Structure 1
Amino acid sequence: MPAEVTLRPVTADDLDLFEREFNGPEGWGVHAWFGFQSTADLRRRFAENGLLGPDGGTLTVAEDGIAVGRVKWFPGGWGPDALAGWSLAIGLVPASRGRGVGTRAQRLVAEYLFDHTRAERVQAWTDPENVAERRALEKAGFLGEGLLRSAVWQGRRWHDAVLYSLLRADRTGTGSSG
């Protein structure tokens, strides 16, 4: 039986997990490592608003009730109405990768955003060589839209990214499609 994947607000204990697991390239993985970053800002924002605000947020990914990562969203629209869409990012502890947890978590956060914001579009991007994340997004219902050339600075050079999206209409059969 597959594990139950849920999302919940971040707790102080979760911050400890994030610091411990995502403190180097081993925790992030080759496609998501962008260098060391201070956790002071994360803890400051947690103290201010629990990492949930009108400009984005972070939820803990839990597998069978145990924290195994986080999903984050931030403004990612096109055109003058930036909140027409959100961009997603996910980080899972290495032991929870490759078993469908990321697929379910990304679908859950997209559903959460469609249910609780006016967003028409949720998008994510990844390195073209990150086959596991591309497969996870596709299984979560996201559609590949194309290649963003030289979009991400990582490891002393520019990398391409593949853009994926899920529209409100993709999940409900209603809404605009362009």
Structure 2
Amino acid sequence: MDIDAVELRSVREPDLDLLRRFDTEVGLIGPNWYGFRDAGRQRRRFETDGFLGAEDGRLIVAVEDEVAGFVGWNPAGQGAGRYRSIGIALLPEWRGKGVGTRAQQLLCRYLFTHTTVHRLEAGTQPENEAEQRALRRIGFRQEGVLRGAEFRDGGWRDIVVFGLLRGEQPGE
């Protein structure tokens, strides 16, 4: 697969079914399953702002016009120290092929190009070594572990935190 074929694009109405699936199909999102979510929330958000809000958003990951998943960002931090937290969800058949690394790299470039944000953050489970390698390839640095920071799969779980500052991304 040509990794340069990976692109990000805005969410379109036909993509809503895929986004709904991540909310309603057990295990589709992988270890990030947090339980069933409101299946109508995706359409409501799309109708509000097309998933492109002032401080948060979502873009579709596409490979040669085939939808592979999505990336997103949310506000984090306080006051003048506001930054964005990023994340990704890929369909199982697209994992382990470099698509996620490339999509997250494109997302970082997008946010550093089109916003004034200075810091991006990503968190992952300690056992998700593939995601940790992907973040390091993009230029993220591991900053620490938030102990017991998320409730998932019946228990409190740690989160490994990575950060990337404007200008640290390889190739910049």
TM-score by length of 2: 0.92
SS in 1 for 2:59: strand
1:40 equivalenced with 2:8 (yes/no) = no
Match of 2:24? 23
Q: What is the distance in 1 between the residues matched to 2:123 and 2:68?
A: 21
SS in 2 for 1:169: coil
Q: Partner letter of residue 168 of structure 2? A: D
Gaps of 5+ in 1: none
Match of 2:118? 120
Percent identity over the alignment? Answer: 43
1:30-69 alignment runs, 5 A limit: 31-69=31-69
Q: Structure 1 residue 87: deviation in Å?
A: 0.2
SS in 2 for 1:48: helix
Q: 1:148 to 1:33 in 2, by over 3 A?
A: same
Q: Partner letter of residue 67 of structure 2? A: A
SS in 1 for 2:163: strand
Structure 1 residue corresponding to 2:143, chosen from 142, 145, 148: 145
CA contact 1:86–1:123 (8 Å) conserved in 2: yes
Q: Which digits, 9 at most, give the CA deviation of each residue in 1:35-87, with x for residues without a partner?
A: 1111312211100110101020000000122111000100022x3225x3100
Match of 2:167? 169
CA contact 2:23–2:37 (8 Å) conserved in 1: no
Q: What is the distance in 2 between the residues matched to 1:63 and 1:173?
A: 22
Q: 1:55 to 1:38 in 2, by over 3 A?
A: same
Q: Partner letter of residue 14 of structure 1? A: D
CA contact 2:11–2:60 (8 Å) conserved in 1: yes
Q: What is the distance in 2 between the residues matched to 1:127 and 1:26?
A: 15
CA contact 1:87–1:124 (8 Å) conserved in 2: yes
